[in-house]
Amino acid sequence: MAICIPPPESMHAESAGERRLYDALRSGLSDEYLVLHSVAWIAKPRGAGPRDGEVDFLICHPRRGLLIVEVKGGRIALDYAGRNWTSTDRNDVEHVIGNPFEQAKKGKFAILEKLKESPLWQKLGIGRFTLGHGVVFPDVDDADRLQGPDAPRQIIGDRRTLSAISAWVEGLHDFWAEPTTASSASVIGTRGIETVRRIFARVGTTRALLSARLAEEEERRITLTERQSVILDMLSRHRRVMVAGGAGTGKTLIARQKAVRSAEHGLSTLLLCYNRGLADHLRELSADVEGLEVATFHQLCRRWIERARIEFGRDLVAEAQHDYPLGNEYDHHQPIALALAVDLFGFSYDAIIVDEGQDFGDEFWMPIELLLSDHADGLLYVFLDENQDIYRRSAAIPIDGAPLFLDRNCRNTAPIHAAAYRYYRGDTIEAPAIAGKAVELLVSPDRARQAAAISNLVTKLVAEEGVAPHDIGVLLCNARDRQDCERALLRTTIPKQANWGRLEGYRPGSVTVDSVARFKGLERPIVILWGLDGCDPVIDREILYVGMSRAKSLLYLCGTKDTCDRLVKASVG
C-alpha cells in the first residue's frame, strides 16, 4: 500500500475522479511509493517574479523517479486541429477545458524548477533523473481515442486503468525512462523522496510562544493540529487570506510557519505584528531564516523614515504632520510617512504576513500594500482575533471574503479555556482535551496584601514546586496601575534566584510583571491576573479575555473576594 499525503481521513477532493484515482494509487501501489495529492507551491526562478504551481498528483519512487498525473473527469471531446477540449458532466453540461496534456507537461517542468531552487534538493547533488507525466480520464472507457501529437497512448489512463493501476504506473515509468544502453539518469533514492516530501508536504512544527531561552529549557514543541495543517495547505493556494480564531487556536504559530515557508521558497517575506514583545519573540525564533524580516508596524515605519532622513535629508513625519495636522503620530503620521518612503525607495517584499491584524488601524493598510512587489496580487495573509481588539481599532483589512476560521484551542487547559472563553463572543471554539487544575483565586482586601499573596505564591512555586521563575507572568489589567503594583511587589520577598521584571527585561529568573495589553500574543505556563478590582465584566471584556487566555497550565485571579466571585461567575460572551 502506497504512502499517501494527505492520509485518507484528511483527503478532500472536489473531483470524484481524483478521489477514485487516489484510492486506486493507495491500494494498488507498494509502500515504496509516495503519492502526494493536490500539490501546490510558489516558485521564484532567478530573475523572475513569484509563480504559482499546482498538480493533481505527484507519484514518487526512489529508483524509478517522479511522475506528474493530471485528472480530467466527465466525457471528453477534443479537436487537435482547432486546439479545443471539452468535458461533459453528469448533468450533460459541456465545459471548455484546457489541454490536460499541456497542463501535465507544464506541471512537470514547474516541479523540476521548484526542486532545483530548493537548497535542500541542491545539497543532494542529484543530477538528471527520470521525470514524466500522464493524464487519467476516470469517467471514460475508451481514452485511447484521445491520442494526439502530444498524447501518446502510453501516457493516457481511463476507467480501466483504475483496476490495473500498478501496471499503468509502471508503464508510465518505462515510457519516460532513459534507454538502458545510454542512460545517464540519476536515482533519487530514499533521501530524494524524503526531500520531495519536505519541500511539497512538510509537516510544520514550531516552538511554544515563549522566549528562545524558555524553549531551550522546556524543550517542548507544539505540533500543528490537523486543522491547522489544513489551513496551511489552503494558504498555499491563495494569495490573499484572512485567518481568524480565538485565543490559543494557533494563529501566531501558523503565521510564523507561513512566513518561514514563504522565505524558504525564496520569497522576500515580512512578518508584521503590533506588540513589540511579540515581535521580539518571533524575531528570536526566526533569526536563522534567510529572507524573513520580523517587525512591529511602527518599527517598520521608523526604519524606513530614518532611511529617508539619511539618504534624502527628508523628515517624512514632519511632512505628514504638515499635510494632515489633525492626526496623531502613531495612528496617522507614521503610516503616511511610511507610504511616502515607499514612494521614494520602491516596494520591498514578495509576501507580507500580518499577525494581530485586529490592532492595525485603517491607515496602516495602504503602506503595507504598497510594500508588496505586486500591489494588486501580492501575497498578503492576515491573522486576527476580533475578541482581542483591546486597542479598539477599526481595521479596513484589504482582503475580500470571509476569513478562514480556526476552531480549536490548543494552548490552554480545559479549566482556563472555560474561564477565558466566558468573555469571548463569536463562533464556537472547541475546548482543548487537556485536563488541568481549576482556576485558583488569591483573595485579599487591598493592593499591599494582594502583592504579599502573589509573592507567597511565587515563592511556593519556585522553592517548593521547582517552577522556573521565567515561566510565571503577573499581568495587570490596568496599565495605569503598573508602577504602584511594581512598588508593592518590590516590598515583598521572593527566592533569591528570582526577580520581578518587565517584558523587555525577560530572562531566566525573571518573573514578568507587565500589562495585559503589552503581553498580547504571548503566553506563560503560569499567569497571575492582577489589578482586577474595578474591572467590569462587560466594559473590560476584551482585557479579561486576553489576560486569562495567556495562561497555558495554571491561572490565578488576584483581587478582593467580591471582584473574584463576580469575574468567575460572569457570563458576558
The pLDDT tens digits for 124-142 are 888 889 999 999 999 888 8
* C-alpha dist (Å) from residue 76 to 85, 94, 96, 105: 7, 9, 10, 19
The DSSP-derived string for 401-443 is: SPPEEE-B--SS-HHHHHHHGGG--SS--BPPS---PPPEEEE
Of 43-52, 401-410, 519-528, the least confident: 43-52
pLDDT at position 290 is 93
What's the grid cell of residue 427?
463562533
What whole-number distance in Å separates Cα of residue 306 and Cα of residue 314?
9
Note the pLDDT tens digit of each residue in 316-352: 999 999 989 988 999 999 999 999 999 999 888 999 9
What whole-number distance in Å separates Cα of residue 81 and Cα of residue 89?
23
- As a whole number, mean pLDDT of residues 548-564 equals 92
pLDDT at position 565 is 87
pLDDT at position 263 is 93
DSSP lists the bridge partners of residue 51 as 43
Residue 380 pLDDT > 70:
yes
pLDDT at position 388 is 61
Note the pLDDT tens digit of each residue in 456-507: 999 988 887 788 899 999 999 987 888 899 999 999 999 988 999 988 888 8
* C-alpha dist (Å) from residue 97 to 16, 72, 87, 140: 17, 9, 7, 16
CA angle 512, 514, 515 (to 5 degrees): 145
Note the pLDDT tens digit of each residue in 348-373: 899 999 999 988 988 999 999 999 98
> How confident is residue 245, by pLDDT bands cut at 50, 70 and 90?
confident
Note the pLDDT tens digit of each residue in 195-239: 998 888 765 544 333 333 333 333 333 444 555 666 677 777 788
Closest CA to 540 of 477, 483, 480: 477
What whole-number distance in Å separates Cα of residue 445 and Cα of residue 431?
33
Note the pLDDT tens digit of each residue in 413-434: 889 999 999 988 888 888 887 7
Count Cβ atoms within 10 A of the Cβ of residue 213 and give its class: 0-12 exposed, 13-18 middle, 19 or more buried. middle
- As a whole number, mean pLDDT of residues 174-188 equals 74
What's the grid cell of residue 202?
512538510
Q: Which residue has the higher pLDDT, 463 or 30?
A: 30
Q: How many residues in total does the chain contain?
A: 573
pLDDT at position 145 is 85
Mean pLDDT of the chain: 86
- Residue 332 near residue 363, CB atoms below 8 Å: yes
Question: What is the three-class DSSP state of 114?
Answer: helix
What whole-number distance in Å separates Cα of residue 533 and Cα of residue 376?
49
What whole-number distance in Å separates Cα of residue 347 and Cα of residue 269?
12
pLDDT at position 227 is 59
- As a whole number, mean pLDDT of residues 5-17 equals 81
pLDDT at position 216 is 36
pLDDT at position 208 is 37
% of the chain residues with pLDDT over 90? 45
Residue 530 pLDDT > 80:
yes
Other beta carbons within 10 angstroms of residue 408's beta carbon come to 18
- As a whole number, mean pLDDT of residues 530-546 equals 90
Which domains, and CATH codes, for the chain?
A: 3-73+100-201 (3.40.1350), 205-409 (3.40.50.300), 415-569 (3.40.50.300)
What's the grid cell of residue 417?
479555556
Closest CA to 526 of 536, 516, 511: 511
What whole-number distance in Å separates Cα of residue 83 and Cα of residue 289?
46
> How confident is residue 247, by pLDDT bands cut at 50, 70 and 90?
confident
What residue type is 171 in one-letter code?
A: G
Q: Are strands 131-137 and 156-158 parallel, antiparallel or unpaired?
A: parallel
- Residue 553 near residue 495, CB atoms below 8 Å: no
% of the chain residues with pLDDT over 70? 90
Question: What is the three-class DSSP state of 286?
Answer: coil
> How confident is residue 378, by pLDDT bands cut at 50, 70 and 90?
confident
